Amino acid sequence: MIDFEGQVAIVTGAGRGLGRLYALDLARRGASVVVNDLGGTMRGKGADTSVADQVVEEIKEAGGRAIASHHSVDSPEGGQAIIDTALDEFGRLDSVVSNAGIFNSIPFDALTPDDWRQMLRVHLDGGFYLSQPAYRVMAKQNYGRFVFISSSAGNFGQPSEAHYAAAKTGLVGLSNVIAIEGAAHGILSNTVLPTGFSRMVTETVGDEKFLEESGFMRAIRAELVVPLVTFLASRACEVTHRNYSACAGRYARVFVGLGEGWLAAAEPTADDILEHIDAVSATDKFIVPDSIVDEVLEVCDRLGISAMPDNAEVAFPDPTRS
């Protein structure tokens, strides 16, 4: 059994829905948990301290250890305060599940700058404000696990969710770089794209009869997302720099692949692109780069040139070297 004895985990947005389930499972497995939740509405309005407090009581009644945090992730001060709560109460930090977020549906042509900024401020800015101070703690102890909750809405697209999709996909980029730079410090970072029945689904769909009768809605039980998040937050996890989908008991890697493409023999024009667009767009042969360096090296190899400057040892900085 994967256990978290002696470890400390932070779960943001842990007062309700999926976040609550993550916190409960980590605590059940021995983790001391910081249950962070501002207690606002799904659309980011208001606050209610009892939302996080109730989950803490639930954990304690089951014999676990937990403390509530009511700070918002949407400021540097809030992110630091959440990390300080873990250190002040439990003395260390091992895992961070960045789950806090808001949600609303707005068609792209009706999206206002304020709508856009509010969504990015909570999801993407919040992910940064939380993870940077956590990273500094983990680097000193040479161990850490990040799990960023992203979304298929961003990776694959979802109507009326341009702001949400952009914010959630931004977390993938953040996680990728943390994984690369954190490798030298024992820090692993991955993202999860969950599909689970929660208030996001109920408040968005709105049709109670459909929600009750839909086989798919019954299949996407929120509990089915938890095992993947728990594993990625644990010492048993040895993978990093990856994205995983959890949907109705199906768990799968989600990846960005780089196609072989078409290599121009001379100075290409737009007309040449048109002529070779099928080869440019083909996906039947691809690689999954570990960083931007892999793409450059692959192209250099096909061109028969060196990526290394003359008399230089390394052409690109290697962030995995401490």
Residue 75 has pLDDT above 60, yes or no: yes
Residue 314 has pLDDT above 80, yes or no: no
Q: Is 130 among the domain residues?
A: yes
242-247 and 250-254 strand pairing: antiparallel
Q: Give the angle subtended at the CA of 174 by the CAs of 51 and 247, to the nearest 5°.
A: 60
Q: Which domain holds residue 91?
A: 8-254
Selected residue with higher pLDDT from 256 and 219: 256
Q: Is 286 among the domain residues?
A: no
pLDDT tens readout for residues 183-200: 999 999 999 999 975 555
Q: Is 64 among the domain residues?
A: yes
pLDDT tens readout for residues 90-118: 999 999 999 999 999 999 999 999 999 99
Please tell me the predicted confidence (pLDDT) of residue 104: 94
Active site residues: 164
List b or e across 113-151, with b for residues whose CB sees 16 or more CB atoms inside 10 angstroms: eeeeebbbbbbbbbbbbbbebbbebbbeeebbbbbbbbb
Q: Is 292 among the domain residues?
A: no
By the 8 A CB rule, do 8 and 238 touch? no
Please tell me the predicted confidence (pLDDT) of residue 308: 74
Q: Total structural domains in the chain?
A: 1
Please tell me the predicted confidence (pLDDT) of residue 313: 52
Instruction: Kindly report the pTM of this predicted structure.
Output: 0.90
Identity at 130, one-letter amino acid code = L
Q: What 3-state class would DSSP assign to 192?
A: strand
Measured CA to CA, the distance from residue 216 to residue 230 in angstroms comes to 24
Residue 208 has pLDDT above 70, yes or no: no
User: For the residues 159-178, what does the mean pLDDT come to?
Assistant: 97
Q: Is 46 among the domain residues?
A: yes
Q: Is 312 among the domain residues?
A: no
Residue 56 has pLDDT above 90, yes or no: yes
Tokens of 71: 């700070």
Residue 322 has pLDDT above 50, yes or no: no
Measured CA to CA, the distance from residue 87 to residue 80 in angstroms comes to 11
Identity at 196, one-letter amino acid code = G
Q: Is 75 among the domain residues?
A: yes
Quote helix, strand, coil % in the chain, to nearest 5: 45, 15, 40
User: For the residues 118-134, what does the mean pLDDT come to?
Assistant: 98
Q: Is 80 among the domain residues?
A: yes
Give the CATH number of the domain where residue 152 resides.
3.40.50.720
